[in-house]
Amino acid sequence: MTLTSLLDSLHTHLQSQTQLLPTLHAQLGLPPTALEDDLKNLQEQLIQGVEKHIDLRRKQVDDWMERCEAVETVCIRYTKALGGNVKATGTSLGELRKEQSLPRRYELVTEFQEKLRQTYHAKLEQLTTLTNRLNHLARTLGTIYFAQDVLEATPAAGEAAFDATAPRDITPERFLKLEKELVRGKAEVTKRLHQLSSVFVQIDWLYSELGMPPPLPGESPPPPTSMTTDDPFCVSTPTPASRSSNTTPLLFQDNEEAEYSRIFGNFVARIEEVEEGSLVGLEGVEPTQGLLEWAAMLHSSLEELKRKREAHIQAMYDRLEGLWRRLGVNEEAMDAFVEMHRGSTDEVIREYEEELERMLELKQDRMGQFIESAREEIVRLWDDLMIGEDEKADFAPFADDEFTEELLTIHEDEIRRLKEERRMKAPLLASIKKYFQICDEEKELQAAAADQTRLLGRGRDPGRLLREEKMRKRVQKEKPRLEQDLLTSIPAWELEACKPFLIHGESILQLLLETVAVSQEQENKRKTTRAGARATTPTGSSGGVIVTQTWVVSAPTAAIADCDARSESGDAASCVGTWAGAYHCHYGEDAPAEEVYDGWGSGAER
């Protein structure tokens, strides 16, 4: 039946039935208004019946909608939790909502919900396994290595964080993040195992260097001994009799440390199999922070013990070296002793202590020899420092002939003081010595200029002039520079040291000032002489050769050889002009006239 046929049948039925009402009303004697009231009553009953039926159906529709929406809400939560993993179900909620029949739609979304639930729980189980592995790594690497959201399941998007029943985030992005963290954690474990292997190898090497046996599997590492002072010579001279056998444990052994010791013992037992990059001996070992710290502390303590032993040995060697040299022990014997006693073992320390004790006994027996050796060293230092006689006399113990330990100590203190002074003065001393060398060369040039025969006669040195000129240039260049440097640096040194800088008992600063003043005065006289010489031109004769006061001639350098030949033949006078010209050609036309004349005599000789 359709809506149109229903209306038609109702119209026909109402029309036939309502036509009976007037007759029935007439028979009942009802008033004319009763018919209208009955018709209105029929109308209301018909409307109520239709609306009641419509309300019933609408209620059924709403009920189905609520049921569908409840299931769809669960599906949406699963979908958010699964993310891209929802594709595994093969459909989507949007497609199912297109179904018009609510019972069918409900049936479809219920099936979809079940698929999502199964997929969700399968992925959640995988995620839980991954999270458990990360938590296991966290116990090895430390809880702060991973972020908290990595170690705990996080709620899906839109879910309340405090709701323990809410779906967890199991999206592909979440899986990818945890997998990356797992790879990072495994890499860190491998890195720490390699680090631990390296530290264990170094610890085993330290044990061998210290002459201490490494622990066997199940044993605790032997505690390294500790020294009571950083300087073994502060209290008394170390001897075998003074050594203590007491030891101080490195670490308090508890259960964890006993386990760490067992791990190290197992590693040492297989250390011969260890190769570069391998993890032999550490199979199944978890490199926890506690294990790494324990290994680092053990390594540090052994290194510290080795450092102290080496410092102890070095201190004894320093004393031994001085004693050996004072006693005249040759270098080969000293080197042989050092070569035979290498390392940092107790045996090496014992040998050094015994040798030191023996040398100290010899020192007592040969105190005079020691003091004489110290005085020889003091003399060498005096020479290096160019100490004056008055300063030497200030060290009165140098003349003391009562050889005692106290006198030797005084000499050794003086040696240390002189060495320190030499270190402080070293740069200036080098410059002063160079300056004195330049001054000696200057005096040598002056002496050569005063030698009248250096350029005459047989057996002359042909290269003498050239060497003298090179020396002259060096003096002219280096002397002013050294004077300037010393006049600047010495006052600064004296200001810092609060005492004068003495050389052979005299102030080097005063000596420099006097030397510079004399040089300046000579230079001024020389300039005055040159000016007077240019103002007059006196002449003189000797054998028909005219010689002027100033030689301003130019001749090739080869003229020197010609002059040499004539000088050897006895014709010295005839070569004077030739030599002077060559001299000016070689030395420069501005060379002073008095320098040209030097070595040729005066008056009739020229």
What is the mean predicted confidence (pLDDT) over 585-602?
41
Q: Alpha helix locations (H) across 451-575? A: 464-497, 508-535, 559-568
Give Cβ neighbours of residue 258 (< 8 Å, ≥ 6 apart).
220
Contact (Cβ atoms closer than 8 angstroms) between residue 418 and residue 378: yes
> What is the share, in percent, of the chain residues with pLDDT greater than 70?
77
Pairwise CA distance, residues 601 & 603, whole Å: 7
**Residue 263, helix vs strand vs coil:** helix
Q: Which of 484, 477, 474, 482 is nearest to 444 (CA)?
A: 474
Query: Which pLDDT value is given to residue 300?
Result: 93
Statement: residue 563 has pLDDT above 60: no
pLDDT class of 22 with cuts at 50, 70, 90: confident
Of residues 597 and 59, more confidence is placed in 59
Residue 548 DSSP class: E
Catalogue the long-range contacts made by 558-561 (C-beta closer than 8 Å, 24 or more residues apart): 558/582, 559/585, 560/465, 560/586
Pairwise CA distance, residues 123 & 115, whole Å: 12
548 C-beta neighbours (distance < 10 Å), count:
15
Query: Which pLDDT value is given to residue 405?
Result: 81
Pairwise CA distance, residues 363 & 370, whole Å: 7
Statement: residue 546 has pLDDT above 70: no
CA 35 to each of CA 15, 16, 465: distance values in angstroms, whole numbers, following the listed order = 14, 15, 167
Pairwise CA distance, residues 65 & 307, whole Å: 84
**Residue 100, helix vs strand vs coil:** coil
CA 261 to each of CA 1, 160, 273, 296, 476: distance values in angstroms, whole numbers, following the listed order = 94, 48, 19, 13, 77
Query: Which pLDDT value is given to residue 49?
Result: 87
Name the packing angle between helices 559-568 and 576-587 (round to 10°): 150
Structure tokens at 103: 């019972």
Q: Which of 304, 293, 289, 302 is nearest to 221 (CA)?
A: 302
What is the mean predicted confidence (pLDDT) over 381-400?
88
Residue 462 DSSP class: T
Pairwise CA distance, residues 590 & 152, whole Å: 98
Query: Which pLDDT value is given to residue 561?
Result: 42
Q: Alpha helix locations (H) across 152-276? A: 172-209, 255-269
Query: Which pLDDT value is given to residue 454?
Result: 64
For the whole model, what pTM was predicted? 0.50
Query: Which pLDDT value is given to residue 255?
Result: 78
Statement: residue 572 has pLDDT above 60: no
Contact (Cβ atoms closer than 8 angstroms) between residue 35 and residue 21: yes
pLDDT in tens, 79-107: 888 887 777 676 777 777 787 788 888 88
pLDDT class of 465 with cuts at 50, 70, 90: confident
pLDDT in tens, 279-309: 777 887 888 888 888 899 999 999 999 999 9
* Residue owning tokens 């391998």: 278
Of residues 318 and 548, more confidence is placed in 318
Statement: residue 551 has pLDDT above 50: no
The mean of the pLDDT values for the chain is: 77
Structure tokens at 123: 């992925």
What domains sit in the chain, N to C, each tagged with a CATH number?
Answer: 3-170 (no CATH), 299-370 (no CATH), 386-450+464-526 (1.20.58.1520)
Q: What one-letter code names the amino acid at 298?
A: L
Query: Which pLDDT value is given to residue 277?
Result: 62
pLDDT class of 535 with cuts at 50, 70, 90: low
Structure tokens at 191: 């890195």
Find which of 10-19, 80-89, 130-139, 256-265 is predicted with most confidence, using mean pLDDT.
130-139
Task: Give the containing element (helix H, strand E) for 150.
Answer: helix 148-151
Give Cβ neighbours of residue 22 (< 8 Å, ≥ 6 apart).
35
Pairwise CA distance, residues 74 & 212, whole Å: 70
pLDDT in tens, 491-501: 998 898 888 88
What is the mean predicted confidence (pLDDT) over 7-33?
82
Statement: residue 557 has pLDDT above 50: no
pLDDT in tens, 199-248: 888 888 898 888 888 766 555 555 554 444 444 333 334 444 344 334 43
Give the dihedral sign, CA 517/521/522/527: positive
pLDDT in tens, 59-73: 988 898 888 888 888
565 C-beta neighbours (distance < 10 Å), count:
11
pLDDT in tens, 140-184: 888 788 888 788 877 777 777 676 777 778 788 888 988 998 999
Give Cβ neighbours of residue 111 (< 8 Å, ≥ 6 apart).
none
Q: Which of 585, 603, 590 is nearest to 538 (CA)?
A: 603
Pairwise CA distance, residues 1 & 11, whole Å: 15
> What is the share, in percent, of the chain residues with pLDDT greater than 90?
10
Contact (Cβ atoms closer than 8 angstroms) between residue 147 and residue 134: no
Pairwise CA distance, residues 240 & 449, whole Å: 72
pLDDT in tens, 31-54: 888 888 888 888 888 889 888 988
Instruction: Give the bridge partners for 168, in sequence order.
Output: 155
Pairwise CA distance, residues 222 & 269, whole Å: 16
Q: What's CA 189's distance to the chain center, in Å?
A: 26
Give Cβ neighbours of residue 542 (< 8 Å, ≥ 6 apart).
573, 603, 604, 605, 606
Phi then psi dihedrals of residue 400, to 5 deg: -75, 130
